[in-house]
Amino acid sequence: MPKLRSRVLLEVWQSIEPSPHPDNRVTLSQQRDMFGCPKLEVHWHWPEEDIQQTLRAQTQIADELERSVLGKLQLVHDPDGRPNIVRPVGSHHLMGTTRMHDDPKLGVVDANCRVHGIHNLFVAGSSTFPAGGYANPTLTIVAMALRLGDVLKQEFTAGALSA
């Protein structure tokens, strides 16, 4: 007598890297906080090309699982048929608001995390990344901070950076 295959339910989690998009940004609001400073406004959405790529990947995985008779992938989409990636949650980190670039017109900080045009202002964090990636940014941030520490120590020792 043939053995019956038991049914197993697996959850598939898809993590994608959001593409850089010029409309995704942080701006100053007209609203003020209790100290009179402008509040921040986060403008962020998934670019349409990311949504379409996600749909294609999900469809290809589902088709291949069925074709190989390994299982059936049940896709969970919003009512409009789009993948449920409306906003960054969990592992999605908002990055790129002070992007690193050699050209001040294309980025906020240079390769040493120095804000363009300001000699003693530095930013070392995931905001300098050109894109979000799909993995936790902590180790890269630590590496950047260590590298910046070396730059600051060298400049301070040489007298190039004054307090």
CA-based angle 62:49:22, to the nearest 5? Answer: 150
Q: Which residues contact 95 (CB under 8 A, 6 or more apart)?
A: 126, 127, 129, 131, 132, 133, 137
pLDDT recorded at residue 4: 53
- Report the number of distinct structural domains present in the chain: 2
* Residues 27 and 85 occupy one common structural domain: yes
pLDDT recorded at residue 3: 61
* Residues 75 and 121 occupy one common structural domain: no
- pLDDT less than 50: residues of the chain: none
Out of 92, 93, 101, 119, which one is annotated catalytic?
93
Q: Which residues contact 144 (CB under 8 A, 6 or more apart)?
A: 113, 124, 125, 128
* Residues 46 and 111 occupy one common structural domain: no
pLDDT recorded at residue 65: 87
pLDDT recorded at residue 101: 93
Closest CA to 161 of 112, 89, 125: 112
pLDDT recorded at residue 113: 94
* Residues 19 and 55 occupy one common structural domain: yes
Structural domain containing residue 120: 93-163
21 is catalytic: no
pLDDT recorded at residue 20: 81
Q: For 69-91, what is each residue's pLDDT tens digit?
A: 878 888 888 787 777 765 555 55
pLDDT recorded at residue 100: 92
* Residues 55 and 99 occupy one common structural domain: no
Any domain includes 155: yes
